[in-house]
Amino acid sequence: METLIISPSAQQLEQSQYVLGGMSHTHEFATEQGTILQLPLPLLEKKTELNELILIDTLPVTHECSFPRGTIRYSKTREFIFGYIKTEQYLGLEHLEETSQHAYREMLQLCLTLQFPHLLRIWNYVPHINETEGMTERYRLFNIGRKKAFDDYPQIISNRYPAACALGSFDTTLRIVFLASTRKPYYIENPRQMSSSFYPEQYGIAPPLFSRATLVPQVAGAALFISGTASIVGHESRHKNNIQTQAYETLKNLNTILTQANMIIKENRAEFTNAQYSLSLNELFWRIYIRLPEHFESVRSVLQQAGITQAVYVQADICRTELLLEIEASANYFTPQSDHIRNA
């Protein structure tokens, strides 16, 4: 069984470790290995190198190809595939609904053809996500296209959705980053929040389909992917226009999701025999999306008080206009004997 490792760096790869994929925040990532996307969002802090990489203990094979509306690049092993799609919207010729549907269909067909039936995590970077197109917000059009594509692929999507996020970028390229596997994850919901599948129509005729997190069993422990999380309780946004209280509410949601993941580890010890049974917030890797740059210091202060230090802060539009902040995270559950992996 292959082992997936989340790491901020590829500088000290252990023997038999390779880069499967990831995202770079500061510059084009110089490596012949894997599939790396340069994230199209401005950094809110000055650092020379910020990456979120997914390492693997099997040499991946990388491919790049074009389709009628864009390009797709991916790296795969026997058990995992990481890739991204970049596509331009034909302004004036089609709606974002059509663009997102086509892009998602390309991704899902690829996973089906290559036999990776379980989507673990998707990152969506949607240009000008809060603007209107015709009479409809672009985020809602994106959700319609995504749902139509999901409906077309029940072999992969069977009412179990991957962890995901959708953030607004500032150029004209729709970017969809994905991680899939032959291995079925645990799909995690948050008891403080309504499942996104059941959001009422006030948020659009198609709900934003995702799980709050996915947990992937591994020989050396487990990998956790927490979706973009905001100040939402039930289905309602909380603390409009108050960045600090939104940050505190978001932390409550993140703590609850992490507690759910820790419970799954403890309750399924036969499957997770080699995993430590709990993680705390300061052991995760974080990406913090902030709508307004002037809120950076306030958010960082709140998160540092909570012990969150392994964090990247970037500017992005959030999927609801009243929300000022969204946070995502990932983590490795390791065996006590796996310190060399932990420090990769």
Q: Cβ–Cβ contacts within 10 Å for residue 50, how many? A: 20
CATH number at residue 118: 3.30.1330.40
The dihedral region occupied by 154, where left means phi > 0, alpha psi between -120 and 50, and beta the remainder, is alpha
| Residue keyed to tokens 């759910």 | 260
Side-by-side strand order, sheet with 213-218:
186-188, 213-218, 221-229, 325-334, 285-290, 311-315
Range(s) of the domain holding residue 70: 4-342
pLDDT tens figures, 30-75: 666 799 999 889 999 887 567 889 999 999 999 999 988 899 999 9
- Rounded to two decimals, the pTM is 0.94
Number of domains within the chain: 1
The one-letter code for the residue type at 216 is V
Q: From first to last of its 344 residues, what are the pLDDT tens digits of the chain?
A: 899 999 877 666 777 889 999 998 876 666 667 999 998 899 998 875 678 899 999 999 999 999 888 999 999 999 999 999 999 887 665 789 999 999 999 999 999 999 999 999 999 999 999 999 989 999 999 999 999 999 999 999 988 999 999 999 999 999 999 999 999 999 999 999 999 999 999 999 999 999 999 999 988 789 999 999 999 999 999 999 999 999 999 999 999 999 999 999 999 988 887 776 789 999 999 999 999 999 999 999 999 999 998 899 999 999 999 999 999 999 999 864 454 444 44
Give ∠ CA 181-185-188 in degrees, rounded to 5. 140
Cβ atoms of residues 76 and 178 within 8 Å: no
Spatial separation of the C-alpha atoms in residues 63 and 150, rounded to whole Å: 24
Q: Which residues pair with 84 in a beta bridge?
A: 73, 177
